[in-house]
Chain A
Amino acid sequence: MGTPPIGADAREEDRAAYLDETARKFGISVEDYLLPTDGSIRILDETGALRPVGEQGTAPGHEYPLPEAGDLLEAYEALVVGRRVNDQNSALVRQGRMAVYPSSHGQEACQVAAALCLGADDWMFPTYRDSVAVMTKGIDPVETMTLFRGDWHGGYDPKKYKVGIQSTPLTTQLLHGVGVAHAAKLRGEDTVVLAMCGDGATSEGDFHEALNFAAVFKLPVVFFVQNNQYAISVPLAHQTAAPSLAHKAVGYGMAGERVDGNDLVALLAVLRRAVRLARDGHGPLLVEAHTYRMQAHTNADDATRYRQDAEVQEWLAKDPVTRMRAYLRSESVLDDAGEARIAEAAEAMATRLRDGLNEDVAPDPEDLFRYVFTEPTTQLQEQRARLVDELARDAATETEGTR
């Protein structure tokens, strides 16, 4: 398929033709292409057994081949490491080594699949909860945690890694993803952008603007919504009246798909296809993953105020790690030696985080002024001089005091 026209050049016929061509490729109607399949795509059942192809939730035009064993093993390793990262970071918060950590415990399959579906030149736009995805994409774990330790408002170089800075204001990053994709398209680059957000965030205005822009400009963006059922205390039913979050895509002229967010096999299959379609010029797609935030929103939150223990227990039984492990063992892709190796990798990661975050790096007060502008203004230079002077005087009084 040729490059679809951009912006003002797009005409009514082009719009229809573009969707028609995509649908024809799958031999289904445009409506069937746009609408998510009934229920979630689920390849493994809750015990980790492979479901019969007819029961995986697929439909014509939405069939998903099983990813290769090697890829699944690699993904499982990232999953186990991701779980360890979450638990290690939560412990570091309790020990006062970090200001805050929004854990993705329970959602690690989504985190890992998000990173592993992308090519080296593709971009990711994560939120505050997506630290595991960021690390899985290859970013130094200690750099990733800088934001939460409280050293600086970010920690890694977005351009170097092609990962946007973790966004705390909700959904603003989706539009940045759209912008990166538009720039890539104008420059003729082959980049796909994966832009992530939560279920609550889909109510923000920027979510809708991002979807609409991406669809109108036919940009290669995969919007990945991790529906973990709650926005702090507010459950999904209070967030939307739509049949699913994936259905929201249709109104903008983009395809939506629902996937079991605790089934790493299904996630890899669905996200990889979405990335491929986007790269092939079929425009943006929205993937909604059904998962659960097993822990509180952050350490400052008390989840018992708004959800029942029985519900948490129900989701515990769907844990992505035990499920994937059972599958790989039953397929003999994973053996004792493999497990030992992976456990070691997870421990090495935990040690790296502990060592890195236990290190006391004294903040440099002059950093306050360093990065406000590329060239500091005279006003800022003055203010910096004042602070330096103040600190010097403080230091002098302290020395006097100890004499």
Chain B
Amino acid sequence: MTVTTSSDANGNVSAATARASERAAEHAEAAQLQPVTFAKALNTALADALEASDDVVLFGEDIGTLGGVFRITDGLTDRFGEHRCFDTPLAESGIAGMAAGMAMNGMRPVIEMQFDAFAYPALEQIFSHIAKMHNRTRGGLKMPIVIRIPYAGGIGGVEHHCDSSESYYAHTPGLKVYAPATVADAYRMLREAIDSDDPVVFFEPKKLYWSKDRLDLDALRASYDDGAPASRSEGKAVIAREGSDATLVAYGPSVPTALAAAAAAAEEGRSIEVVDLRTIVPLDDATITASVRKTGRAVVVAETPGFASVASELVARIQERCFHSLAAPVLRVTGFDVPFPAPKLEEFFLPSVDRILDAVDELQWEG
């Protein structure tokens, strides 16, 4: 079943939007920039990638005529033809397995999984084959596949429509894992994922689909096409907000929440830095380490259930690399170790601004 997000369901998106618009405000006003949605940025990235190479093909469930249940592929079949963007029969294992075969035969498939939890029938193909093919063939075969997954909570979806499944994929060697948090990153990271010769699991935070940012999409496209290294994001975390007292490490849907928490902390006189990882695999240890060494305190924020998760990995690495700079233990604010809850219980599950501020308060502040 399909529950699509509506703009007013996107509770705490405003922080990301606020930050981005702040940064770009002056420039935007001068240039009369139009707000661009996260969804539009992804759609543009797909169109540009289809334009850039005939090897790129898009397929999945309902992505043709309908344009996907979230409309991310809207108009692409009309524009590029059914051989470039098409509906498959309803079978995720079939979609992923066929992508593997097409990649073996020189193409660059970009596949859509309709919802996070509905990718599970494809895990055999993804874990056992897509992730391992390069390794098993000693580099003989490449798997330039992008697996796009609308993911995580915040939209009040029913059963199976809101899993935070990133930890499974991040745990599987051979898969790259991307999780953009801003509109500009949605564009550039999707282009990069498609250009990557390795398989990329591309997590699209559902609650951010209709978030907007004023930016010059044409300039962004041009800078990507110029190959300017500055516009590359894989393995390059960004400091989404500067601060000196503590670091919040976040990715994807948790970045806006972390920024909102940092803004709230500022009102109480605490200067919080926010690191947006952008890609979980590969991970930018250097940026995380530099930030935590500077601030001496860290909280990792993620929706994933915390046990044996991306969040636990981040805490372990910070502890290993920054031990002598730490003024307090590194804490985590994550989903509880329970199945993703029904809509009415979601608010008690998701990392919230308050929960992050509580964790920040626990970081052994003196005086």
Instruction: Name B residues whose Cβ lies closer than 8 Å to a Cβ of A.
Output: 1-4, 61-62, 64-67, 69, 87, 89-94, 117-118, 120-121, 156-161, 307, 336-339, 341-345, 348-349, 354-355, 358
Contacts and interface: CB of A to CB of B under 8 A. Distances in A.
Across the A-B interface, the 6 shortest Cβ-Cβ residue pairs: A150-B343, A233-B66, A203-B89, A300-B4, A200-B90, A365-B348
Contacts of B158: 99-100, 147-148, 150, 153, 168
Contact of B342 (A153, A305, A394): A153
A97 interface: no
Contacts of A169: 117-118, 120-121, 160
A344 interface: no
A143 interface: no
Interface stretch (A218-226, A250-258, A278-286, A379-387): A379-387
Given A300-B2, A305-B65, A368-B336, A203 B94 contact: yes
A53 interface: no
Interface string A371-398: 0100000011001000100110010000
A205 B117 contact: no
B160 A233 contact: no
B121 A205 contact: yes
A240 B348 contact: no
Contacts of B93: 205
Given A232-B62, A233-B66, A150 B307 contact: no
Given A233-B65, A372-B337, A150 B156 contact: yes
Given A233-B62, A234-B61, A297-B2, A369 B91 contact: no
A356 B48 CA distance: 50
Given A150-B342, A297-B1, A367-B345, 9 more contacts: A99-B3, A149-B344, A154-B159, A169-B121, A205-B91, A205-B93, A380-B338, A390-B354, A390-B355
A339 interface: no
B338 A368 contact: yes
Contacts of A147: 158-159, 342
Contacts of B65: 233, 305-306
Nearest to A149: B344
Contacts of A239: 89-90
A231 B2 CA distance: 11
A231 B65 CA distance: 12
Contacts of A154: 159
Contact of A231 (B90, B161, B339, B342): B90
Given A150-B344, A168-B158, A204-B121, A383 B336 contact: yes
A201 interface: yes
Contact of B337 (A153, A203, A379, A390): A379
A369 B159 contact: no
Chain B contact surface mostly = loop
A206 B121 contact: yes
Contacts of B338: 368-369, 372, 380
A102 B90 contact: no
A169 B3 CA distance: 13
Nearest to A394: B354
A335 to B, nearest CB: 40
A298 interface: yes
28 contacts: A99-B3, A99-B156, A100-B158, A102-B1, A150-B158, A150-B344, A151-B342, A168-B1, A168-B158, A168-B159, A200-B89, A200-B90, A232-B62, A233-B64, A234-B61, A234-B89, A297-B1, A300-B4, A301-B4, A301-B69, A305-B66, A363-B345, A368-B345, A369-B338, A372-B337, A372-B339, A380-B338, A390-B358
B3 to A, nearest CB: 5
A129 B158 CA distance: 13
A300 B337 CA distance: 30
Contacts of B2: 232, 297-298, 300-301
A18 interface: no
A152 interface: yes
A271 B61 CA distance: 31
A100 B1 contact: yes
B327 to A, nearest CB: 23
A169 B67 CA distance: 21
Interface string A134-154: 000000000000011111111
B90 A306 contact: no
Contacts of B118: 169-170
Contact of B336 (A170, A232, A369): A369
Given A150-B344, A363-B344, A368-B338, A100 B91 contact: no
A187 interface: no
Nearest to A387: B348
A390 B361 CA distance: 13
Contacts of A129: 1
Contact of A298 (B3, B91, B94, B117): B3
B66 to A, nearest CB: 4
